[in-house]
Amino acid sequence: MGQQNIPTDEEVDLGSLFKIIGKGFQNLFTAIGQFFKCLFHYFIVLLVFIRNNSIKLGIAVLLGAVIGLVLDLTQPKQFSSAMIVEPNFKSAQQLYKNIEFYHELVKQKDSVLLAETLNISKKEASKLKGFYIEPIKNENEKYEFFDKFIQEVDTTTVRNIDIKEFKKGFTDYDYKYYQIKVKSLNNSIFEKLSIPIINSVANNPYFRNQKKINDQNLLQNEKVLVKSLQEVDTLRKIYNEVLITEARKAEMGTNITLAQGVKKTDEIELFTQSLELNEELIDNNKTKAETTEILNVVSTFSKVGEKERGLFKKYTFLLGIGFGLLMLAYILFKQLNLFLKNYQNTDNQ
């Protein structure tokens, strides 16, 4: 009588597991297939819809584009020019407020006050179409400011703040450079606007006082650094003279060598200190150069503005798309209304 192969419980469990896994993969692939089938179905429905309504949509887009083209050709040409500035003494917020004030006057068409504020004629002021300002964003600036921040605060504060938290608190007023853009119908007005915009911040008594204090501090710091550097150089000369004198005394023997070693160490320390003072003096002079003005002008407005371009700003594009969307909404509404009527008739039956 032959020995029967009786499957163990473990073999039965493994077989059931493989069946479940196989069925799971089958369901997964079936679901994926159904998804792409459904996606293809709706794509075909969309193509059929476009084919059935292409003439209506095309006429609507063409009509809007023609009307927009007429408006583009009849509208006066608009020009723009930009100026890049570097505010000092945390004056960026004041600069923002001034630019927003000018833009508000343009919106209100207050040519009289705008002309008086910018020192231009009323006719020139009436041609202005907008004032805009935005920071020139650079992610590296955030890391530089964070590095400077952690060097200035104590270690306890540093432990409680990280770069992500610091970046969250970084506002548009904290960047280094800003672009001021002006739009106008007058192509030669931009150069006249530079000085009034700069003076609107530079003549502020608060910032003038901040600059005065900063200049005094930098000058005092420069005097201290120069005097310290002179004293260190004098000490270095004295040490060198002592070393030369003692080196000539042969009768000093071993003691001479020890004395020279001490002097040499002191001379190296003085040399290192001299280098550090020089670096501090360079940094001081760099800061002085960067803060010469309350508002540093990196590049001013051009003498002649550039013509405003861009497809998305033209009425030809905007009205063409607008009319097309309106026609699409009308067709969809019409089909929805037809569907509701058919649904109501079916329900009544």
Give the pLDDT score at 24. Answer: 80
Nearest-CA neighbor of 270 among 245, 241, 234, 244?
A: 234
List CB contacts of 322: < 8 A, sequence separation 6 or more.
64
CB 281 within 8 A of CB 267: no
pLDDT band at 199 (very low <50, low <70, confident <90, very high): very high
Instruction: State which amino acid sits at residue 305.
Output: G
Mean pLDDT of 234-239: 79
Describe the chain by its helix, strand, coil percentages, rounded to 5: 75, 10, 20
Residue 258 has pLDDT above 50, yes or no: no
Please write the tens of the pLDDT for every residue from 152-187.
665 555 556 666 766 676 788 888 899 999 999 988
Alpha-carbon distance of 301 to 98, in angstroms, equals 17
Mean pLDDT of 34-55: 87
More reliable by pLDDT, 7 or 54: 54
Nearest-CA neighbor of 319 among 54, 55, 63, 78?
A: 63
pLDDT band at 93 (very low <50, low <70, confident <90, very high): very high
CB 291 within 8 A of CB 88: yes
pLDDT band at 261 (very low <50, low <70, confident <90, very high): low
What letter does residue 127 receive in the DSSP assignment?
T
Mean pLDDT of 83-95: 93
Please write the tens of the pLDDT for every residue from 268-283.
787 788 888 888 889 8
What SS3 state is found at 179? strand
Instruction: Please spell the DSSP secondary structure of 188-214, one letter per residue.
Output: T-GGGGHHHHHHHHHT-HHHHHHHHHH
Q: State the CB neighbour count (10 A cutoff) for residue 207.
A: 19
pLDDT band at 68 (very low <50, low <70, confident <90, very high): confident
Give the pLDDT score at 141. Answer: 72
Give the pLDDT score at 256. Answer: 47
Give the pLDDT score at 315. Answer: 79
Give the pLDDT score at 1. Answer: 45
Residue 128: both structure tokens together? 């202005």
Give the pLDDT score at 12. Answer: 53
Alpha-carbon distance of 197 to 207, in angstroms, equals 15
Mean pLDDT of 192-205: 93
* Model-wide pTM > 0.75: no
Give the pLDDT score at 18. Answer: 73
Q: pLDDT over 70 for what percent of the chain?
A: 81
pLDDT band at 316 (very low <50, low <70, confident <90, very high): confident
Give the pLDDT score at 205. Answer: 93
Whose tokens are 């004030």? That residue is 101
CB 188 within 8 A of CB 98: no
Specify the DSSP element, H or E, that contains 246. helix 205-247
Specify the DSSP element, H or E, that contains 307. strand 306-307
Alpha-carbon distance of 132 to 183, in angstroms, equals 9
Positive or negative, the CA dihedral 182, 188, 191, 194 is negative
Q: Could you give the angle at the alpha carbon of 223 between the alpha carbons of 221 and 225, nearest 5°?
A: 70
Alpha-carbon distance of 45 to 122, in angstroms, equals 59
Alpha-carbon distance of 93 to 271, in angstroms, equals 44
Q: How far apart are the first and last CA of the chain?
A: 74
Q: Could you tell me the residue ranges of all domains in the chain?
A: 17-75+314-335, 79-207+294-310, 211-290
Residue 302 has pLDDT above 90, yes or no: no
Give the pLDDT score at 118. Answer: 93
Instruction: Provide the mean pLDDT of the chain.
Output: 82
